[in-house]
Chains A and B, each alone.
Chain A
Amino acid sequence: MRSGTGRALLLHLAVLAVLFGLQFVLPDYHHRSFARILVLASYAVGYNLLLGYTGLLSLGHAMLFAAGLYGAGLAVQHLAIDAASGFVLGILSGLALALVVGLVALRTSGVAFMIVTLMFSQAAFLTTLYFSAVTRGDEGFTLPAAARQYAIGDLFFDLTDPGTRYNLALLLFGACLMASFALVRSPMGRVLVAIRENEPRTVMLGYHTFRYKLLALAASGAISGAAGAAYALLFSYVGSTFASIQYSILPLLWVLLGGVGTTLGPLIGTLLMFYLIDTISGYTSAYLLVVGLALVLLVLLFPKGILGTVRAKAAPWLP
């Protein structure tokens, strides 16, 4: 076993166990909020795969989240297919878009990559507005209640039930988290990190880095799509705001806060940011100011983010 892998695995399982246990003790509001946070944290996990482990900073992930959101939402709305198929369709949409964008955007790197992804995402955003005949553009649409009941055999899911939502969200997050953990510890993960550290050198070790970056982006896209699809199906709203730039910046913020290139960082970042805004907006309408300051202080004082700092100071075995 590689040093720390055992410990790390235990930690991850423990975190998931705690999250599972929390649903029995959390007060109603936080119980419901956690369902949302877990879905968004999954999105952040997908984002972190790219930024944290491949070193590619995308400013356009909103289009991938939205691809899942609309892929699932539109299918359920207009094709009258069931929630599960809608979810799969959402994942595929995210995956497909990521591949297409990747084939083009990955020819660039650094600042250029950021801006290219930003541009693609902007185009995607405008597209959701342009086809408002089906998307209802900025207004968006809500899913028919029927689409939110789902049965496998005699197993019946009611997506309007908070308990069901919590556990499905947890299931999604658990899957994404463990997937990213496995990937990071795999030979493939090692190559991705190598690309992040020094791409030309990685090429000279015989790796077709473009292919690996494309794979990373595809994985990131699939996870982001899954998160988007889950968001649409669990919370029943599909609208173009989710394709706007803001939703490309949020995962960046969450990941930076939690710790770039740490598997658990995205969860911590998403959680803290949600409650930061939730709490502050109670005292002042100027919570954007706090968000802004948080970002600035973060890069100034904790460039590694929370877990990143912990790893550097205390626990080098953290994945």
Chain B
Amino acid sequence: MSFGPHLFLALLEGTVAAFVLALTALGLSLVFGVMRVVNVAHGEFFMLGAVLAWAVSSLVPASPALGFLLALIASPLAVGAVALLADRLVLRRLHYAPEATIVATIGLLYILQQLVLTFYGPYARPVAAPISFRVQFPWFGYSGYKLVVIAAAAALLAATWYLLMRTRIGLVMRATQYDRETAQAFGIPVERVYSGIFALGAMLAAVAGVLIVPIQQAHYLMGLDPLLLSFITVIIGGLGSLRGTLVAAFVIGLSDGVISVFFSPTLAKIIATLFVALVLVFRPSGLFGSARA
């Protein structure tokens, strides 16, 4: 295939990756930004979302579309509930101390993985796409569903953005992120806000998991990769900066696709990973983040 179409394909793929990544990373960024908590179990919420999507959609084998829509609503809610529980039972009792919470969320990661392995099994199970059509370009064909993913993710991002920037809830959240003590002084129920944020972050990961599951499959070890990618994204974007996170998601999503056209992919991943580390060291506020890191 000649270079032009090749690049076009890489960009298409990049866009899909970018949107899904944006959702997942936004959740991580939100939790870190407001609560200063590095949630190592974030990837497992993604995984849980995908697995539950399989469970829900297999309740209505008759109509994939209906099953998927059902999953799109039920699965994130369930994951949100799990996150809420984790926050109440663990994180809150640790007063969100950074190191303690990291260890705790590592524990949470093991717990969730094992529970899924026990009750769902070690299999990689597919979920039928709600719609399945193939877009034929002059040079190659492309999954129609992937285009749907882009649309859906975009909508969800917009909704989240609206929630954070235009509603009172968002205002409260941002106030808490800006200065916890003052927020408390102004009578903002910080603990409730934290619970809400943690749940919201988890739900964003979960919904990303649901969207991805017709493309990938639900598997109990699928959480690690999105976790690492989200980390990378949040760092490049600037720790705690939502706008930065979004920009980074697109840069990474697109570049990841394009880089691997030129390098041996494994080498590309090595280079990319080192690059991220260096960004965090020399540009702690990220490449696109606002000054505050």
Contacts and interface: CB of A to CB of B under 8 A. Distances in A.
B108 A119 contact: no
A130 interface: yes
Nearest to A244: B224
Nearest to A112: B280
A291 B270 contact: no
B117 to A, nearest CB: 8
B232 to A, nearest CB: 8
B206 interface: no
B155 interface: no
A291 B117 CA distance: 15
**Which range holds the interface residue count of chain B?**
35 or more
A122 interface: yes
B51 to A, nearest CB: 16
Nearest to B36: A111
Interface in B243-280: 264, 266-267, 269-270, 273-274, 276-278, 280
B85 interface: no
A116 B283 CA distance: 12
A104 interface: yes
B111 A299 contact: no
A88 interface: no
Interface stretch (B99-107, B140-148, B170-178, B207-215): B99-107
A126 B280 contact: no
Among B32, B107, B109, B278, chain A packs the most CB atoms within 10 A around the CB of: B107
A289 interface: yes
Contacts, number: 117
A303 interface: yes
Contacts of B32: 111
A17 interface: no
A292 interface: yes
B113 interface: yes
Nearest to A295: B107
Given A127-B270, A299-B100, A292 B93 contact: no
Among B106, B112, B270, chain A packs the most CB atoms within 10 A around the CB of: B106
Contacts of A253: 103, 106
B85 to A, nearest CB: 12
A256 interface: yes
A166 B103 CA distance: 32
Given A114-B38, A123-B277, A129-B266, A288 B239 contact: no
Interface string A259-297: 000000000000000000000000001101101111110
Contacts of A289: 110-111, 114-115, 118
A252 B280 contact: no
Interface in A21-62: 57
B270 A295 contact: no
Among B239, B277, B284, chain A packs the most CB atoms within 10 A around the CB of: B277
B280 A116 contact: yes
Contacts of A127: 270
Contact of A112 (B103, B107, B111, B239): B239
B98 interface: yes
A200 B36 CA distance: 21
A115 interface: yes
Nearest to B268: A126
B110 A295 contact: yes
Contacts of A299: 94, 100, 103-104, 107
Interface in A102-122: 104-105, 107-108, 110-112, 114-116, 118-120, 122
Contacts of B228: 122
A115 B240 CA distance: 14
B108 A292 contact: yes
B90 interface: yes
A115 B107 contact: no
Given A115-B280, A120-B274, A292-B108, A126 B103 contact: no
A1 interface: no
Among A110, A245, A289, A293, chain B packs the most CB atoms within 10 A around the CB of: A289
Closest 3 CB pairs of A and B: A295-B107, A292-B110, A292-B111
A114 B102 contact: yes
A119 B98 contact: no
B107 A296 contact: yes
Contacts of A112: 239, 280-281, 284, 293
B45 interface: no
Contacts of B117: 286, 288
5 contacts: A105-B277, A112-B280, A115-B277, A116-B281, A288-B110
A110 B98 contact: yes
B54 interface: no
A295 B114 contact: no
A108 B111 contact: no
Contacts of B118: 285-286, 289
A112 B285 CA distance: 11
B235 interface: yes
B198 interface: no
B277 to A, nearest CB: 4
B68 interface: no
A104 B266 contact: no
B109 A292 contact: yes
Given A130-B267, A296-B104, A111 B98 contact: yes
Contacts of A294: 107
Interface in B46-83: none
Interface string B208-247: 0000000000000000100010011001000100000000
